[in-house]
Structure 1
């Protein structure tokens, strides 16, 4: 009996030693799967450029900005990721959308002073399609639910429908995207990201070099500031990822911003890994130590969460003249 207990104890110790290695191997596989999906999205963007000679807009007809409304006066709240569907073997889904009408209506935070909402996403079918869960937009390391955050009058596509979240999004300049319609054309070259609302940037404008500039980023399906990002539409604060909101805020894998302090809430807020609180534009993942980015040339880089803010800004902007080479 004593010998049997010793053998069982030894087996238990070996299992305890082996378990972390198994978990690391599983995460390595998940991380590779996530990287491959982002690589495919990078290729989809370049195939889009080959067809249209420019990048897709980060959004079309966003109605959440503060001033006179979208460029052509039509509020559609479309996420530019929809335009990539034909290039990720989702042509059939793309064809089902009513692209002439709204993809979502954010009635709680419809702030544009001008323009008009085109159609109704509930009756035109777009709201229902927005709930389609697409593996191409999901990272297996993120155990947050795909649905449940993109709901209601602020974050939902309309009515009682729930949008499906995405872990991958365009890199944008978050403050203009949310507060100032049509500001991209007037912004200085030093502050521009590769994508903007109602703007089709050309690759030639990425003068810092495609291999040195973020094109798409990774985020979590749970945002404490806002709900999450839906792949099909733009609701309130769904603007895209901005790793460098400003000199104070931003970063990678930030679960609690310092200014958003715990005394705002009762009981006090407890940061939870996997629930990003980097305002509404989080670059984050559940991969240990950082998250993935697709560079302008289509390559995928894993960026450590310890990266300093100036370097992160230089990688985020496309024409500030401060080139960072990733090795």
Structure 2
């Protein structure tokens, strides 16, 4: 009698390898979709942050009948940086109680008697805090979640002023707009060129430094005017949209397309840090001599875009509708005005907050007009002189028109579709 053997069912080595290979291929196909889904979720969260900020700004306006001041706060009385903030607080400080940050606002708006390490400070910091770059003042070091975009990976260390990804729009003219013609003691300048009254014509955006804006001032319509926009935090990798190219007076005497020559030809999204461009000697510091047409790249950790949420100086808290989103930034010097682009780590563009509270995604390819036009406030060589641009439509196309509040431009596109 022949005995039969039971055969065990199982995979051969070849079959197992084939299955593993198929799983690997499927994972490889699925991973980009998972990454895209994660970024879509982060982009949605960023949009929700902006909607909350927009609602907070509208509630602020309902309460005080104006928008919060950028570069505001307490005047420089000569009593020292711990007892006033030199009129440099950003618009985000005043917005705090309207975005459910009442606890942080209470710390700032009252005398604060502690050092960063928790020890007692005598006398305490004055109400409304010290200068916004003071790294011993814990409220400035406190990160406000609503002011950060989840797609931006750059994080502050514990001893630095916390970051922000949302900036106020100052429009398409930059001449002397960093201080609005008012000094840090609150005294308006009477200069007929750049003083308080003279500079008002170049304050073409919703926000103007050291001045309040009301919704009634936005004559082009709340739904047609940008109030705020995204900005990346400079990560010190020379990424152009987060790096500051210092150009001294050339930033407003020359057209914005001057910045193209300073991009790295091998990596167009990065600046070329070879400061011997054109065979000229390198610059000797952030604002030093020997710059000529060379750029100087401000490498200080504290001088990058978006690195101080409490600071109302331009590179930290505002942007311009001159160069397209995600392009490059040029400033006159540290703390000075300049061409500051909207930017984000979202693919293809950045969010903006319209004055009516709507959040819209603007692509990098938005029509941005004549990038060879010198910014208004300086002589463009067209025979009109330095004052010839006052009251005129923006030279920077649809992008520039969206940034101006009262230039009578006609917006013919449905931006929210």
- If the TM-score is normalised by the length of the shorter chain, which range does it land in? 0.7 to 0.9
3-state SS of paired residue (1:220): coil
* Structure 2 partner of 1:218: 230
Shift of the 175–251 alpha-carbon distance from structure 1 to 2, 3 Å rule, reads farther
| Structure 2 CA distance for aligned equivalents of residues 147 and 240 of structure 1 | 23
Q: What TM-score, normalized by structure 2, do the two folds share?
A: 0.58
Question: How many corresponding residue pairs?
Answer: 266
Residue number among 294, 304, 309 corresponding to 1:227 in the alignment: 304
Whether the 8 Å contact between 1:184 and 1:192 is mirrored in structure 2 is: no
Matches within 5 A, 1:135-174: 135-147=145-157, 161-173=159-171, 174=174
Q: Is 1:103–2:130 an aligned residue pair?
A: yes
* Structure 2 partner of 1:322: 409
Provide structure 1 residue ranges, at least 5 long, that are not aligned to the other structure: 64-72, 107-120, 149-160, 245-249, 261-277
3-state SS of paired residue (2:57): helix
* Structure 2 partner of 1:176: 176
Following TM superposition, by how much is the alpha carbon of 1:26 offset from its aligned partner in structure 2, in angstroms?
0.6
3-state SS of paired residue (2:97): helix
Following TM superposition, by how much is the alpha carbon of 1:186 offset from its aligned partner in structure 2, in angstroms?
3.5
Shift of the 103–216 alpha-carbon distance from structure 1 to 2, 3 Å rule, reads farther
Q: CA RMSD in A?
A: 2.9
| Structure 1 CA distance for aligned equivalents of residues 21 and 160 of structure 2 | 50
| Structure 2 CA distance for aligned equivalents of residues 43 and 287 of structure 1 | 23
| Structure 2 CA distance for aligned equivalents of residues 142 and 185 of structure 1 | 39
Following TM superposition, by how much is the alpha carbon of 1:191 offset from its aligned partner in structure 2, in angstroms?
5.4
Shift of the 19–59 alpha-carbon distance from structure 1 to 2, 3 Å rule, reads same
Residue number among 228, 249, 252 corresponding to 2:325 in the alignment: 252
Following TM superposition, by how much is the alpha carbon of 1:189 offset from its aligned partner in structure 2, in angstroms?
5.3
Q: Which has the larger radius of gyration?
A: 2
Q: What TM-score, normalized by structure 1, do the two folds share?
A: 0.73
* Structure 2 partner of 1:288: 347
Whether the 8 Å contact between 1:103 and 1:233 is mirrored in structure 2 is: no
Whether the 8 Å contact between 1:193 and 1:318 is mirrored in structure 2 is: yes
Following TM superposition, by how much is the alpha carbon of 1:45 offset from its aligned partner in structure 2, in angstroms?
0.3
Shift of the 219–181 alpha-carbon distance from structure 1 to 2, 3 Å rule, reads same
| Structure 1 CA distance for aligned equivalents of residues 217 and 313 of structure 2 | 28
* Structure 2 partner of 1:91: 102
Deviations 1:221-278 (A, max 9, x none): 113214132222235743511131xxxxx22112x56x99xxxxxxxxxxxxxxxxx9
Provide structure 2 residue ranges, at least 5 long, that are not aligned to the other structure: 1-12, 76-83, 111-126, 183-194, 235-241, 245-302, 332-336, 369-396
